[in-house]
Amino acid sequence: MRHRPARPARRIPVLAVAILAGVGLCASLLELSPCDAEQRRTAIVEAVERARTSIVNIHGEKLVDNNDAAKGDAKRRVNGMGTGVFIDERGYIITNHHVVDGVKKIIVTTATRENFVAKLVSHDPKTDLAVIKIDSDHEFEIIPVGSSNDLMPGETVIAVGNAFGYEHTVTRGIISALHRTVQVSDAQAYEDLIQTDASINPGNSGGPLLNIEGDMIGINVAVRAGAQGIGFAIPTDRVMKVATTLMSTRRVDRLWHGLVAAQRPDDSAVVLESIDEDSPAASVGLRQGDVITAVSDKHVNRPLDVERFLLGHQAGDAVELTVERSGHPVRMKIELASMTPTDAAPVAAANDPVWEVIGLRLQAIPAKQFQQHRTRYRGGLSVLEVRPDSPASRQGIRQGDVLVGMHVWETVSLENVNYILGRPDFAQLDPIKFYILRGNETLYGHLTVANRTPR
């Protein structure tokens, strides 16, 4: 009788061990155990963790045009959603203008699941950026900001946002191209965008595009309808430049300092590019070329820091600035001043119903001058001033626009506008459609005037 040789102990093939380890399991001969979490902590995981607490979700209800021709010009209510990032510890958030445009009650949800009602601070429809603010008894984490002037096609990027309402969705990809121009509608075009194949979906708008280190290098803004793997972001250098204007003390607090700061091309310093004549800055001896290093002992990295560190002060407050001049630190105090008639647009009379109800100061345009617009409208009113946080301001009407119509009526004269505001059925027209000329374009929007009582 022949004896069968003893069967050797079964071994797990080396290839199988490698596969198991590759999917997140550690193999040691016959025993399998979970891998140490640190072995799975990739650069992408760390980048998301670094930025996550600075990212918020934005949602609210807005009215949009009804595309059903059978229903006329009626509007329908939709639930809007988007994303934003903290750019100041006190609750200032930057996002896309189209995310908050027309939203009556802006709801912000933080990474810690806290809900806040935000107010619109300032916006710029042309660049599609807006600053909103929430109030809290604690400070918030600011998004780490990188530079977009050295981006490379092919480098890894990460998008985080409220995609389709799924909060803090993370997608990754690469930079597909730089300096793209995108026309998304008749009224909105973007220039010099970052193109990426990281998935950007509805709800991602206003959220950050991060580099592999977790620094924000762009604000996600648009997707190409019908295309897959094509999304776009506004470069962060431009975002910070616009944010500096949107958060300026002149615009938010109506205060004047006279400083015009700029970032050096190599991002190494913030320099005084110019100083307004007879301004508080000029009166204390600040000079063009001075390098601003601190405001109230807070370190300055970019021009936005100068403006946000000055926010919240009152006229007459003396704020200490530290500048570097000829290699030496120089400390001086600058006293903030109220805006004066010479550096601000003239203020409308307190009893002007146009100013009080919709927030515009208007002036009739002579017929010959209006003909230069080459439009079918017979006349219009030049916008001299827009009151901050007014219905007109919230709709993006700017100084220099020409108001040519409201609802079904022309606005050739101030009497036309006063007639519209004084109609007994004015409340039924809310929101009221308006038409403006801006350059060679005719634009329209809807003014929501919930209360006609003057401020």
The DSSP line for 176-210 is EEEEEEEE-SSS-EEEEEEEE-S---TT-TTPEEE
Predicted pLDDT of residue 16: 45
Of 297, 300, 306, 196, nearest to 249 by C-alpha is: 306
185 lies in the same domain as 196: yes
Task: Provide the CATH number for the domain around residue 175.
Answer: 2.40.10.120
Instruction: Say which range, 143-147, 249-253, 329-333, has the weakest mean pLDDT.
Output: 249-253
Predicted pLDDT of residue 24: 46
180 lies in the same domain as 57: yes
Predicted pLDDT of residue 345: 39
What's the whole-number mean pLDDT along residues 14-29?
A: 46
Predicted pLDDT of residue 349: 42
pTM of the model: 0.69
Is residue 348 assigned to a domain? no
pLDDT category of residue 348 using cuts at 50, 70 and 90: very low
Q: 154 pLDDT exceeds 90?
A: yes
Task: Please give the residue that has the higher pLDDT: either 35 or 135.
Answer: 135
Give the CA distances from residue 234 to residues 148, 237, 423, in Å, rounded to whole numbers and listed in that order. 9, 9, 43
159 lies in the same domain as 285: no
- Among 338, 373, 401, give the residue marking a domain's end: 338
Task: Give strand pairing partners of 26.
Answer: 33
- What tens digit of pLDDT does each residue of 389-446 get? 888 988 889 888 899 999 888 898 888 888 888 887 787 888 888 999 987 788 888 8
Is residue 452 assigned to a domain? no
- Among 224, 247, 270, give the residue marking a domain's end: 247
The DSSP line for 352-365 is -HHHHHT-EEEEE-
As for how many domains the chain has, the answer is: 4
Of 154, 157, 120, 168, nearest to 236 by C-alpha is: 157
Q: 94 pLDDT exceeds 90?
A: yes
Buried b (16+ CB within 10 A) or exposed e, 130-154: bbbbbeeeeebbbbbbbbbeebeee
pLDDT category of residue 33 using cuts at 50, 70 and 90: low
Q: Which two tokens stand for residue 64?
A: 């949009």
Range of the domain at 286: 253-338
Is residue 345 assigned to a domain? no
pLDDT category of residue 30 using cuts at 50, 70 and 90: very low
258 lies in the same domain as 358: no
- What tens digit of pLDDT does each residue of 283-310 get? 999 999 999 999 999 999 999 999 999 9
CA torsion sign for 31, 37, 42, 48 is positive
Cα–Cα distance between 231 and 233 in angstroms, integer? 7
Predicted pLDDT of residue 225: 64
Residue keyed to tokens 């929430």: 134
CB 71 within 8 A of CB 85: no
- Among 289, 307, 338, give the residue marking a domain's end: 338
Instruction: Say which range, 141-150, 206-215, 368-377, has the weakest mean pLDDT.
Output: 368-377
Predicted pLDDT of residue 15: 43
Mean pLDDT of the chain, nearest integer: 84
Predicted pLDDT of residue 295: 96
Is residue 2 assigned to a domain? no
Instruction: Say which range, 23-27, 216-220, 231-235, 313-317, has the weakest mean pLDDT.
Output: 23-27
pLDDT category of residue 344 using cuts at 50, 70 and 90: very low
Contacts of 7 (CB under 8 A, 6+ apart): none
- Cβ count near 279 (within 10 Å): 18
Helix spans in 53-129 (H): 97-100
What's the whole-number mean pLDDT along residues 129-139?
A: 95
pLDDT category of residue 455 using cuts at 50, 70 and 90: very low
Is residue 425 assigned to a domain? yes
To 10 degrees, the CA torsion angle through 277, 282, 285, 288? -70
Cα–Cα distance between 132 and 118 in angstroms, integer? 6
What's the whole-number mean pLDDT along residues 116-126?
A: 89
What's the whole-number mean pLDDT along residues 186-195?
A: 84
- Cβ count near 453 (within 10 Å): 6
Predicted pLDDT of residue 227: 66
Q: 17 pLDDT exceeds 70?
A: no
121 lies in the same domain as 197: yes
399 lies in the same domain as 272: no
18 lies in the same domain as 51: no
Cα–Cα distance between 334 and 170 in angstroms, integer? 44
**Percentage of the chain lying above the pLDDT 90 cut:** 49
Predicted pLDDT of residue 187: 63
185 lies in the same domain as 312: no
CB 390 within 8 A of CB 357: no
36 lies in the same domain as 46: no
Is residue 386 assigned to a domain? yes
260 lies in the same domain as 204: no
32 lies in the same domain as 176: no
55 lies in the same domain as 191: yes
CB 401 within 8 A of CB 411: no
Predicted pLDDT of residue 34: 57
Task: Please give the residue that has the higher pLDDT: either 365 or 196.
Answer: 196
Cα–Cα distance between 227 and 448 in angstroms, integer? 35
Is residue 3 assigned to a domain? no
- What tens digit of pLDDT does each residue of 44-64 get? 999 999 999 999 999 988 766
Cα–Cα distance between 68 and 54 in angstroms, integer? 40
Q: Known catalytic residues?
A: 98, 128, 205
Is residue 454 assigned to a domain? no
